[in-house]
Chains A and B, each alone.
Chain A
């Protein structure tokens, strides 16, 4: 085991309820993050479909060729991006559930809550219940924000200037 991995394990042990099986939480969160990320990528397929269906029109006849319509306007950015980050929103909100899970863990198999409540460090119980969920929620929100910026930059650079509706902003 590398030193870095050992350090990470120690950090997790120190910042989750004592004995809590944080590995399964982490695996579930990573999978949730992967699905949220994959779902967010449907922004590009939606954009791609709209780009060709809205900005181009078929030439009459059966030539099978399309030409750029200079008068066409793309749907607004927020409309295309709508719902694409839902996975991350769910993941962030799910962290409230993780806090509850961490707290109720102290009632499972024993009443370790009695020990946690009489520790000289008053904040220890809540520190261990909150640290991981808060970090994961912030991480999820940060990735979502980053993707939103990426989508916006993509939209603004890939869409021909004449086809960008006026007053576009990130939200």
Chain B
């Protein structure tokens, strides 16, 4: 169980996330949603220990440190691979550093996405780089896989493939926390949606609950954000002086 208790992160006085409480259990697939600057990336980076924060983050009751950090994997749109190295070199590096590295999954995903194994990653397209970033995160052998906009730059077919593959390969105890703007795309893939706004959790719902209430994920987000459906028309009217 990944537990986040009363976590606050301040950026030079400005609040990144404020008093966030969240618990994510094994096997959950959680979508993390929110506008730009809502604190999604900040929350993920606090979990991974990249930022100092106030509060407590634990993994099965233990603080996250070198003893259990390998239980967390991270795929980011900023990319965390080494651009000069090939996928084959990365495999060796991961095998050296992550004892639970899943070679079979790595090879399988490399084959599925038809990525060249011996070419430097800097020569890959952005879409291929995203794919490889996610392949590494999924193959690390981690229990909790954190993803921050991992498919930015990939076409819709590619993303669709990924969701299907993900659902097919994940073990029951593997947990995904996926930060994305692609609400409608991931709706059928996730089991729970957490909504952040101005650094605070403003919504936390399972997709079963949504289904029971007859709402879509988009409806839930709009309602929680108090989205005014006529705000565009109002703004355009003001700008064009129309009655």
Contact = CB atoms under 8 A, between A and B. Distances in A.
Interface stretch (A45-53, A83-91, A104-112, A146-154): A104-112
B89 A118 contact: no
Nearest to A123: B66
Interface of A is mostly: loop
B120 to A, nearest CB: 8
Interface residues of B, number: 25
Interface string A1-41: 00000000000000001111100000000000000000000
Contacts of B83: 19, 108-110, 112
Contact of A114 (B50, B66, B67, B97): B50
Nearest to B94: A115
B123 to A, nearest CB: 11
Interface residues of A, number: 20
The B interface, classified by DSSP as helix, strand, loop or mixed, is loop
A76 interface: no
A25 to B, nearest CB: 13
B59 interface: no
Interface in A105-140: 108-115, 117-122, 124
Interface stretch (B69-77, B211-219, B231-239): B69-77
B80 A18 contact: no
Given A18-B93, A21-B84, A118-B72, A111 B49 contact: no
8 contacts: A19-B83, A109-B83, A110-B121, A114-B50, A114-B74, A119-B69, A120-B98, A122-B66
Interface of B: 48-50, 66-67, 69-70, 72, 74, 76, 78-85, 89, 93, 97-98, 120-122
Interface of A: 17-21, 108-115, 117-122, 124
Nearest first, the 10 closest Cβ-Cβ pairs linking A and B are A19-B84, A109-B83, A19-B85, A19-B82, A110-B79, A114-B80, A115-B80, A111-B78, A122-B66, A18-B82
